[in-house]
Amino acid sequence: MGSLPEGEYSPTSKHLSVLKEVVGESAATKSMVRSYTRSFNAFAARLSDEEQQKIARKKEVLSVFRSRTLQLQTTRSWDFVGLTETAKRQPTVESNVIVGVIDSGIWPESESFSDEGYGPPPKKWKGTCEGGGNFTCNNKLIGARGYSLGSSTENASVRDEDGHGTHTASTAAGNKVMDASFFGVAKGVARGGVPSARIAAYKVCDEGGCPENDILAAFDDAIADGVDIITISINGGKAGPFDADSIAIGSFHAMEKGILTVQSAGNSGPAPITVSSVAPWLFSIAASSIDRKIISKVVLANGKTLIGSAVNSFTLNGTKFPLVYGKDVSSTCSEAKARVCSAFCLNSSLVEGKIVVCDDASGLNEAYRASALGAIVLNEDRKDVAFVISFPASTLVNEDYDVVMSYINSTENPQGSILKSEGIKDTHAPAAASFSSRGPNTIASDILKPDISAPGIAILAAFSPDASPSRVPEKRSVKYSILSGTSMACPHVAGAAAYLKTFHPDWSPSAIKSALMTTAWPMNATKNPDGEYGEGEFAFGAGHINPVKAVEPGLIYEASKDDYIKMLCSMNISFFGNCSEGIKGSPKDLNYPSMQALVEIDKSFTIEFPRIVTNVGPSKSTYVVKVITDSQINVSVKPNTLFFKSSGETKSFVVTVSGKGKPSNTRVSASLVWSDGTHDVRSPIVVNPQGSILKSEGIKDTHAPAAASFSSRGPNTIASDILKPDISAPGIAILAAFSPDASPSRVPEKRSVKYSILSGTSMACPHVAGAAAYLKTFHPDWSPSAIKSALMTTAWPMNATKNPDGEYGEGEFAFGAGHINPVKAVEPGLIYEASKDDYIKMLCSMNISFFGNCSEGIKGSPKDLNYPSMQALINVSVKPNTLFFKSSGETKSFVVTVSGKGKPSNTRVSASLVWSDGTHDVVFCRNPQGSILKSEAITDTHAPLAASFSSRGPNTIASDILKPDISAPGIDILAAFSPNASPSSVPEKRSVKYNILSGTSMACPHVAGAAAYLRTFHPDWSPSAIKSALMTTAWPMNATKNPDGEYGEGEFAFGAGHINPVKAVEPGLIYEASKDDYIKMLCSMNISFFGNCSEGIKGSPKDLNYPSMQALVEIDKSFTVEFPRIVTNVGPSKSTYVVKVITDSQINVSVKPNTLFFKSPGETKPFVVTVSGKGKPSNTRVSASLVWSDGTHDVRSPIVV
Known catalytic membership, residue 164: yes
* Total residue count of the chain as it appears in this document: 1201
- Which residues neighbour 280 within 8 Å (Cβ) at sequence distance 6 or greater? 444, 447, 559, 564, 567, 587, 590, 592
Known catalytic membership, residue 487: yes
DSSP, res 654:
E
- Alpha-carbon distance of 805 to 813, in angstroms, equals 10
- Alpha-carbon distance of 878 to 881, in angstroms, equals 5
- Alpha-carbon distance of 64 to 43, in angstroms, equals 10
31, 95, 164, 313: the active-site residue: 164
Helix (H, G, I), strand (E, B) or coil at 539: helix
Closest Cα to residue 220, out of 250, 255, 240, 241? Answer: 250
Closest Cα to residue 44, out of 23, 62, 66? Answer: 66
C-alpha gyration radius of the chain: 40
Closest Cα to residue 596, out of 874, 261, 284? Answer: 284
- Which residues neighbour 64 within 8 Å (Cβ) at sequence distance 6 or greater? 47, 52, 55, 56, 748
Beginning with the edge strand found earlier in the chain, give each strand of the sheet holding 1194-1200 in spatial order. 1109-1110, 1194-1200, 1183-1189, 1135-1142, 1155-1158
- Alpha-carbon distance of 960 to 1109, in angstroms, equals 8
Cα–Cα distance list, 779 to 775, 787, 817, 833 (Å): 6, 9, 21, 14
983-990 long-range Cβ contacts below 8 angstroms, 24+ apart: none
Q: Which residues pair with 394 in a beta bridge?
A: 376
Pairing mode, if any, of strands 69-72 and 234-235?
A: antiparallel
Q: Exposure pattern of 139-153 as b/e (b: 16+ CB <10 Å)?
A: ebbbbbbbbbeeeeb
- Alpha-carbon distance of 743 to 791, in angstroms, equals 35
421, 487, 508, 621: the active-site residue: 487
35, 103, 225, 264: the active-site residue: 103
Q: How far apart are the first and last CA of the chain?
A: 67
Pairing mode, if any, of strands 650-659 and 680-690?
A: unpaired
DSSP, res 1112:
-
* Helix spans in 1042-1190 (H): 1051-1054, 1061-1064, 1075-1084
- Alpha-carbon distance of 384 to 434, in angstroms, equals 7
Pairing mode, if any, of strands 210-211 and 393-396?
A: unpaired
- Alpha-carbon distance of 386 to 435, in angstroms, equals 12
Pairing mode, if any, of strands 480-483 and 305-308?
A: unpaired
Stated as kind and residue range, the H or E segment containing 225 is helix 212-225
Pairing mode, if any, of strands 283-288 and 452-455?
A: parallel
Cα–Cα distance list, 672 to 542, 630, 635 (Å): 11, 13, 9
Q: 430 and 264 in contact (C-beta within 8 Å)?
A: no
Which conformational region is residue 752 in: left (phi greater than 0), alpha (psi within -120 to 50 degrees), or beta?
Answer: beta
- Alpha-carbon distance of 262 to 453, in angstroms, equals 12
Provide the residue type at 165 as one letter: G
The count of C-alpha atoms lying within 13 angstroms of the C-alpha of 453, restricted to the half-sphere facing its C-beta, is 35
- Alpha-carbon distance of 1076 to 899, in angstroms, equals 78
Helix (H, G, I), strand (E, B) or coil at 81: coil
Provide the residue type at 83 as one letter: L
**What residues are annotated to the active site?**
103, 164, 487
